Structure 1
Amino acid sequence: MKRFLSELRRREVVKSLVAYVGISWLILQVVGVVAGMIEMNPMVGPGTLLVLACGLPIVLYISWHFDVSLEGIERTPDLDEEENPTIQPLGWLRWIGLIFIVFVSTFIGWQYFNSIKLDQIASEEGLTTIQLADSIAVLPFSDQSEEQDQSYLALGLAEEITSLLGRSDGFKVSASRSSQILAKQGLSPTDIGRRLNVKTVLTGSVRVTGNRLRVRVELLDTENGHTLWTESFLRELKDIFQIENEISRAVVNLLQDKYYEAGSFAKLSSTSTDAYVMYLKGREQYRLQTTESMKQARTFFEQALALDPEFAKAYVGLADTLALLAEGGERFGVIKTEIAAKLAQGNIDKALVRNSELAEAYAVKGYIASMQNDLDTALQDYNKAILLNPSLAIAYMWKFLALDSLGRFDESLIALEKSLALDPLFQTAIYNMGVTLTKLGRFSEAEATFMQLQKDFPQSQFSYQGLSDIYFSQGNLFGAIQQTQKALALSPENQDLAFKLVGLLLTLGSTDVVKELGQDPQWAEIVAYFEDNILIFEQEYAVFFDKMDFKLAANPDDYWLSFEAAWYQAMFGDKEKAVKLFIDKLLLVEQADMFAMPYCSSAIEVAWAHIQRSETQQAQELIGTCKKLMEEQLKAAIIYSEIYYLEARIHALEARPEEAVASLELALEKGWREWWTKYDPLLSSLAENPDYQRLLTTIEEDLAEQRQQVKALFQK
C-alpha cells in the first residue's frame, strides 16, 4: 500500500484528479446557467454529467502512465526506467487496457443514459412511481356531458382500452362485461376490483363539448384504494384513438417493469371519427343482447363501414352480429344458419385482410367454423385469438364449447375456468360451469355456482334451469319441476322451458297434471305436442301405433322417426317389426350420428336388433364402439346416471347379468329414475333376476311418491 501511495504521488495522479474534478464542476455550472437562459433538451444536463463521470476512469488511467502539462504529454517512466534517458513507448498490453477502460466506461454510461431518458419521459407523463401489478379492470367511464347522451362513447372508450391492454403479455385484463355489471350494482371501484380479483382498476369520465373531448382517468390500487396515477386529456374528438393509445401505454408502463414508446400499441381504429362513432353505437346495441338490439347493431356496423371501408374492427363487429342472428338454441334465430355463416365469414375475411393481428377477428372466425361443425378449425382460430390477446374471455368460452363437443372434457374445463377468471360475471360461462360440475357429479359445487348466479342475476332464469338439471340428475324430479316453474315465471314466453316442464311431468308419469294443463289455452298447443307420449302412458298402444304408421308412411326417409317407432314397438308392440325398423333404415343416417352420448343411441339399440337376428359380428362392433366411448367418459370423470345405465345395457347384451345389475344399481344411486326401465328390451334377459326386480320396485315407489308431491304442488 505504501508503494502504491508513493507511486500516486510520483506520477501526480491526485493532481490530475483534482484538476479534472475542478474542470468538470466548471462545465456543469456553465451548462446549468445556459439551460436556465435558453430552452434546451432536458437530457443535456444528465448527459453531460454522465460523460464527465464516465471519463474519470479514463483520465485516471492516462494520468498514471503520462504527465500532462502545458508543455505537452510525456510518458511517465516506471521506477526501473527513472534513471534511463531513453523512455520506451507504452506497450501494446497497456494500450489494450486503455481501450478496454474506454469501452467499459462508454457502455456503462450509455446504459445509464437510456435509463435516465426513460425515467424522464415517464416523469413527463405523470408516471413517477413504478407499481408492479399483473392485473387490471377497466371500469365503465362515466358520461359527464351536459346532455348525458354520450354513454355509448364512455362505455365504448373503456371497452376499447380493455382490448388494447389485453394485448400486453403477462397482464391479466378483466373483461368489460363483468366490470359493467358490477358498476351497475353501485359497488365502489376498489370493491369491484376485489370482486374481479385484480390488483388495480382504471376509472374515468368523458365530457364532449362540440368537437372537443375531455377524458379524465384515474388508476387505483384495489388493496388500499390509493391513487397510483391520474391524468386529464383535452383534445378534439378526432383524436380519440390517440387518447386510447396513450392511456393504454401509460397504464402498462406504470404497472409493468418495461416501457412502451409512443405507437407501441398498434392502432386498431378507424381514420374516420364518424365511422368510429357509428361503431361504438353498434357496440352499445350489441351489449344489450336482444333480437331488436342486434338488428340495430348490424345497421350501425354497416353504416360505420360505409363511412370507412377499411375499418377492420367494424367488419368484426358486423360478422359477430350476423353470426349471433343465426338460427340456433343460443342465438337469435333471425337468419338461416348457412346464410348467416356465409355472410359472417365474408366480413371476417375482409377484417383479416386489413388487420391480420386482430384477436377478436380470429375468435369470431372460430365461432363461425363451430356453427358449421368444423370444430378442429374452430379450435385453431380460438388458439390464435388467445395468442394475440391472452385476456380475451369470449375466446376461452367458445373454446370450451368446442372442446366439450369433441369430448375433450379435461381441456374444456381448463378453458372454461380461464374464461371465468377473466370474466367472472359472464352469465353463460357461469351457467356452463354449473352444468359441467353437474356432469362431473360435483353437485354441491354446481349448486353453489347456480346460487351465486341467482344472487348476481336475480331476474335471470338460468340459475333455476341449472338447479333443475341438478335435481333431475339426482333423481329428484319433483325438485326439477319446482325449479323449472320458477324459471318459467321469470321467462313466461320461453317455449323451451314450457316444453321442459311438460316433459318432466311426463317423465314422472303425471299425465293427469299434464292433461289438466292442456285445458289452459296457453298450454294447449304444448300439451298437444306430447299427445303420443300420453297415449303410451295410458296404454292406448293401438291408437299410438296407428299414428306412428301414418307418420312413417308420410316420412319414409326420416331415420329418427323410424328409430322412435322401432323403440316403442320393441317396448310395447311387435319386436320383429322393431328389429326391421331399427336396421332397415340405417343407410339414411351417418354412422357417427348413431353414437350420441351418454346413451350411445341409436347404436346400442341397433346392436340389440342385430342380436335378435343372430348377427353377432355387427352387434359386437357397435357394442365395442359404445364401450370405448363410455370408458372415455368415465375416465374423464363424467358420472351421469345415464353412463352407468348404458353400462348395464352393455353387460346385459353381453350376457353378464351380475355386472348388469350392479351397474343398474349404481345408475340408481346416481339418480336414474326413468319410468320405462322395466320395459327396456335391452334388459329383458334380467327379468327373472330378483335383484333386478328389487331395483325396478325402488324406481316405481320413488316415482309414485314424487307424483303425489307434484299433484299437491299443482293443486295449490
Structure 2
Amino acid sequence: MSVSTEQRKLAAIMFTDMVGYSALSQRDDQLALELLEEHRQLLREIFPRFNGTEVKTIGDGFLVEFNSALEAAQCAMAIQRALAKRNADAPAERQIQVRIGIHIGDVVHRGGDVYGDGVNIASRIEPLASAGGICVSMDVERQIRNALEARFEKLAPTELKNISVAMDLFRIVLPWQPATSTPARPATMSQPKNGARAVAVGLILALALGALGWWMFQQRAPKQVANPQTNAPSPSLPAATGGADQKSIAVLPFVDMSEKKDQEYFADGLSEELIGMLTTVAELRVPARTSSFYFKGKQTTIADIAKALGVAHVLEGSVRKSGNTLRITAQLIRVDNGYHVWSETYDRKLDDIFQVQDEIASAVVKALKVSLLEGEMPKATRTANQEAYALYLQGRSLHYRGTHADAQMAITFMEQALKLDPTYAPAWFGLADSLVYDYVYFGGSYQDVHARVRAAAETALRLDPKLSDAHLAMGRVLGELEWDWAAADAEFKRTLELDPNNVLALWCASGYALIGDRLDEALKLIQNAAERDAVGYGVYTGIGDVQIRRGRLAEAEAAYRKATELNATAAGTHMWLGFVLLARGESKAALAAMEQETDEGYRQYGLALAFGALGRQSDADRALAALETNYADSRAGHIASVYACRKQLDRAFAWLDRAYRQRDGWLPLIKADPCVKNLEPDPRYKALLRKLKLPE
C-alpha cells in the first residue's frame, strides 16, 4: 500500500512575472538572459528574509509560498523597492520591471509542487498588477490592511479566468507611487524623493512640493494621464461660462489605428504639435493640452467635451503607421449641429509628416475663417531626421507619464535624438525638462543636474531664440535651480511674448508674482491660465494658492474643491483642501480631508496639523514623528511648518536651515503659510527672507 504524500494547508501564494521579457528575447536574446539571471538573483536574496519558499520558476516568473499574507506582502514591497532602486541607475534598455500577485487560500503539497485554489487565483491576479506594482485579493487585503504600512486601492471589478467566485482585488499603493484609478497603467506620478529641493514647474498636470507651492508643478498632473484602456465614465464636467466663441477649437488626442497599437506616442505627438501650432493664432482660442488630453479614453461625448472646454469646434482624427507609410485622417466638427466642417485623409510617407501637420493646421484656420496676422502660425523648429523626431516624440510621451523609470527613459530618448541631430532645439528643451523633473522628484546631484540642465537650456536658446519652450526651460533653471526670481520672471514673460497662450508659462508667471507679493497680478495670470485649461485641476489649485494669500478663504476653498473634483487621486489635492479648512477653523472637516490624501508625505504633514488643531496631541506627535523619520531629506519645510504652528521656534528655525540647504521648494512661498506668522517677530525670520531674496 502506498502512503499518501499529500499535505493540505493554508498558505499565502505569490506569483511574479518579468514584464516585457518575451519581447526583449526576440530583440536581444543575450541581454534578455542576462537581465533574467540578475532578476532571479535579486529576488532569491529577498524571499528568505520573509520566510518565503521558492516552489518553482515558471519561465521568467516565480511561484513562492509564505506562511502568512503579511510576510508575502512585505516581501513583495521589498522586491519592488529593490527594483526601483536598481532601476534608478540603470539605462532604459536595462530596466527590470516585475508584476506581483498575491492570494491566500488552501493549497495542496504533492510531489514537490503546490496545487489548489490558492495557487490558481494568485496566478490569475498577477497579470492585473501594473509594471512595478502589486495586486492582492480581498482575503489578503483583509488580513494585512491594519498591519502593513501601506495604503490600498480597490480595483475595478474584473472577472478572473476560470474562477467562478466573484472577488474584489486591491492594489498596494507603494510609497513612491500615488493612488490611481486605473490599475492597468503605471502610476502617473511618483512621490518625490528629492522633490522639495527646487521650486519645480512640471510640464503636464503635477504636484507641488512645498506648502502652497503647488502651482509650480501643475502640468505634471495629467499627469493624471488618461488611460486609453479604461471605459469608466468621466467625473462630472464643469460647464464653460457663456456661449462658445465660434473661433474656438479643441484638438482631441488622435487615435492610434496601427495594427500593433504601438504608435500611441506618435498619435499623441501629432495632436500636441497641432495644438502648439494653432495656439499661436491670435483670433483662435485653443484649450491647452492638459484639458484636451483629460478626456482621453473616457466615455464622454464630443458635445460634453466641447461644453466643458467652452469650444464650438472639435478636431479629431486617427493615425495608422506601418513602416515608412502613414495614413492620417482628420475631421473638424461643429459641435452644435454635428456638422463635419472639413475632413481629409492623408496617405503619405513618414518624411511628409511635417507637411501634413502644416496642411491640417492651415485647413482648420481656413475653415474657421480666421484671419492670420503676419508671423502667426510660424513653422516650428523641426528636424530633417525622422528617426530623431520619432525618438523625441517617444521621449515626450514617456515624460508625461511621470514615473522615475519613464523620466529616465525620456532622458535617454532625448539624448539619442540629439546624437542624430544636435541642432534640434525642441529635443534640447525636452532633455532639460526631463532632467529637472527627474531630479526634483527622484533625487540626484544638484551640481550635476544644474550643469546639464543649464547647458541644455542655453543650447536650445542658441539654436532657436524664438522657441518659447527654450525660454521656459531657462526660466526653470533660473527659478527652480538658482532661485534668481527676477531673472526667471523675465524669462517667463518672454515666453508669453512669444506664445501668449502658453498655459504653463502663465502658471509660472503667476507663481513668481505670488513670490514677489504681486497678488493681483498673480490672480489675473492664473485666471488667464484657467480660461485656457478649463479642466486642468492644477489651475484651480493655483487659484486657491493666490486666494489664500489674498485672505479670500471661501474662494480658496471653492478652488481646492474644484481641483479635487477634477482629480481626486492626485497627490496633494486633499491636503490643500484640508489646509484651507484649518485656516477657516473647520478642524474636523480638515481632518477628514487630510485622511483622504493619497500622498503619504502630504498626508502625515496634514494629519500633524489637523490633529494638533483638534487637541489630539498624541496623534499629532505620531504623525510628526512619521514625517521626520521618512521625509527629513525631502520635506524639511513641512516639518518646520508644524513646529512653527506649535510655537517651538528654535526647532522650526533648525528645520528651516535644513530646508534651505536642501533647496526646499516650500521656502520661496513661506509667507503663504499661516503657521509661519508665529515666526515673524523673530529676527531670524527676516534674515531668512533676505537669504531667499524675498520681499520683507
Alignment TM-score > 0.5, same fold: yes
1:560 to 653, 676, 682: 653
Letter of the structure 1 residue corresponding to residue 611 of structure 2: L
The Cα offsets for residues 183-205 of structure 1, whole Å up to 9 and x where unpaired, read as 33221223212211122211010
Question: Are 2:247 and 2:285, in contact at CA under 8 Å, matched by a contact in 1?
Answer: yes
1:513 to 606, 619, 623: 619
Q: Which residue of 2 aligns with 1:411?
A: 521
Aligned to 1:220, the other structure's residue is in SS state strand
Q: Which residue of 1 aligns with 2:681?
A: 604
Structure 1 stretch displaced more, 288-297 or 305-314: 288-297
Q: Indicate yes or no: 2:476 matched with 1:476.
A: no
Distance 1:253 1:338, change over 3 A: farther
Question: Are 1:249 and 1:260, in contact at CA under 8 Å, matched by a contact in 2?
Answer: no
The CA deviation at 1:478 is 2.6
Q: Which residue of 1 aligns with 2:474?
A: 365
Letter of the structure 2 residue corresponding to residue 506 of structure 1: G
Matches of 1:356 and 1:531, distance apart in 2: 42
Q: Which residue of 2 aligns with 1:577?
A: none
Q: Indicate yes or no: 2:348 matched with 1:348.
A: no
Matches of 2:669 and 2:287, distance apart in 1: 42
Q: Indicate yes or no: 2:295 matched with 1:182.
A: yes
Q: Indicate yes or no: 2:247 matched with 1:134.
A: yes
For residues 172-321 of structure 1, the aligned pairs below 5 Å read: 172-258=285-371, 265-321=378-434
Matches of 2:499 and 2:558, distance apart in 1: 31
Distance 1:595 1:153, change over 3 A: closer
The CA deviation at 1:335 is 2.8
Q: Indicate yes or no: 2:503 matched with 1:393.
A: yes
The Cα offsets for residues 115-152 of structure 1, whole Å up to 9 and x where unpaired, read as xxxxxxxxxxxxxxxx9943221100001111111100
The Cα offsets for residues 432-478 of structure 1, whole Å up to 9 and x where unpaired, read as 21232334343443333333322322323433112201211112223
Letter of the structure 1 residue corresponding to residue 467 of structure 2: L
Matches of 1:460 and 1:277, distance apart in 2: 30
Matches of 2:303 and 2:557, distance apart in 1: 28
Percent identity between matched residues is 26
Matches of 2:318 and 2:645, distance apart in 1: 64
Letter of the structure 1 residue corresponding to residue 681 of structure 2: I
Q: Which residue of 2 aligns with 1:665?
A: none
Distance 1:526 1:184, change over 3 A: same
Distance 1:176 1:293, change over 3 A: same
Aligned to 1:366, the other structure's residue is in SS state helix
Letter of the structure 1 residue corresponding to residue 530 of structure 2: L
Question: Are 1:517 and 1:527, in contact at CA under 8 Å, matched by a contact in 2?
Answer: no
Aligned to 2:295, the other structure's residue is in SS state helix
Distance 1:600 1:445, change over 3 A: closer
Letter of the structure 1 residue corresponding to residue 619 of structure 2: V
Question: Are 2:314 and 2:332, in contact at CA under 8 Å, matched by a contact in 1?
Answer: yes
Matches of 2:375 and 2:684, distance apart in 1: 68
Larger relative strand fraction: 2
Aligned to 1:202, the other structure's residue is in SS state strand
The CA deviation at 1:427 is 3.0
1:504 to 595, 598, 610: 610
The CA deviation at 1:264 is 6.7
Question: Are 1:132 and 1:254, in contact at CA under 8 Å, matched by a contact in 2?
Answer: no
The CA deviation at 1:535 is 12
Question: Are 1:241 and 1:267, in contact at CA under 8 Å, matched by a contact in 2?
Answer: no
Distance 1:262 1:415, change over 3 A: closer
Matches of 1:258 and 1:432, distance apart in 2: 33
The CA deviation at 1:374 is 1.4
Matches of 1:469 and 1:537, distance apart in 2: 13
Q: Indicate yes or no: 2:443 matched with 1:334.
A: yes
Q: Indicate yes or no: 2:464 matched with 1:464.
A: no
Matches of 1:534 and 1:434, distance apart in 2: 21
Distance 1:517 1:271, change over 3 A: closer
Q: Which residue of 2 aligns with 1:37?
A: none
Matches of 1:180 and 1:259, distance apart in 2: 26
The CA deviation at 1:527 is 12
Matches of 1:239 and 1:417, distance apart in 2: 39
Cα-Cα RMSD: 4.1
The CA deviation at 1:160 is 0.8
- Aligned residue pair count: 432
Question: Are 2:315 and 2:332, in contact at CA under 8 Å, matched by a contact in 1?
Answer: yes
Distance 1:381 1:170, change over 3 A: farther
Aligned to 1:274, the other structure's residue is in SS state helix
Question: Are 2:317 and 2:328, in contact at CA under 8 Å, matched by a contact in 1?
Answer: yes
Q: Which residue of 2 aligns with 1:168?
A: 281
Matches of 2:620 and 2:571, distance apart in 1: 22
The Cα offsets for residues 289-346 of structure 1, whole Å up to 9 and x where unpaired, read as 222211111111111111111111101111111122234xxxx142344532331121
Matches of 2:620 and 2:567, distance apart in 1: 31
Letter of the structure 2 residue corresponding to residue 326 of structure 1: Y
The CA deviation at 1:514 is 4.3
Q: Which residue of 1 aligns with 2:78?
A: none
Question: Are 1:245 and 1:267, in contact at CA under 8 Å, matched by a contact in 2?
Answer: no
Question: Are 2:423 and 2:463, in contact at CA under 8 Å, matched by a contact in 1?
Answer: yes
Matches of 1:527 and 1:364, distance apart in 2: 28
Q: Which residue of 2 aligns with 1:689?
A: none
Structure 1 stretch displaced more, 249-258 or 150-159: 249-258
The Cα offsets for residues 535-567 of structure 1, whole Å up to 9 and x where unpaired, read as 9999xx9xx99xx8xx9xxxxxxx933999xxx
Q: Indicate yes or no: 2:547 matched with 1:437.
A: yes
Aligned to 1:184, the other structure's residue is in SS state coil
Question: Are 1:189 and 1:201, in contact at CA under 8 Å, matched by a contact in 2?
Answer: yes
The CA deviation at 1:263 is 11
Q: Which residue of 2 aligns with 1:107?
A: none
Larger relative helix fraction: 1
The CA deviation at 1:273 is 0.6
Matches of 2:430 and 2:399, distance apart in 1: 9
Question: Are 1:359 and 1:389, in contact at CA under 8 Å, matched by a contact in 2?
Answer: yes
Aligned to 1:174, the other structure's residue is in SS state coil
Letter of the structure 1 residue corresponding to residue 525 of structure 2: A
For residues 520-535 of structure 1, the aligned pairs below 5 Å read: 525=629
Letter of the structure 2 residue corresponding to residue 369 of structure 1: L
Distance 1:402 1:358, change over 3 A: same
Q: Which residue of 1 aligns with 2:123?
A: none
Question: Are 2:429 and 2:470, in contact at CA under 8 Å, matched by a contact in 1?
Answer: yes
Higher relative contact order (CA closer than 8 Å, sequence separation 6+):
2
The CA deviation at 1:606 is 3.8
Question: Are 1:140 and 1:183, in contact at CA under 8 Å, matched by a contact in 2?
Answer: yes
Letter of the structure 2 residue corresponding to residue 605 of structure 1: D
Aligned to 2:378, the other structure's residue is in SS state coil
Letter of the structure 2 residue corresponding to residue 167 of structure 1: T
Letter of the structure 1 residue corresponding to residue 522 of structure 2: S
Question: Are 2:283 and 2:370, in contact at CA under 8 Å, matched by a contact in 1?
Answer: no
The CA deviation at 1:593 is 10
Structure of greater Rg: 1
Distance 1:527 1:507, change over 3 A: farther
Gaps in structure 2 of 5+ consecutive residues: 1-243, 658-666
Gaps in structure 1 of 5+ consecutive residues: 1-130, 552-558, 565-591, 609-620, 633-716
Q: Which residue of 1 aligns with 2:132?
A: none
Matches of 1:155 and 1:470, distance apart in 2: 37
Aligned to 1:146, the other structure's residue is in SS state coil
Aligned to 1:173, the other structure's residue is in SS state coil
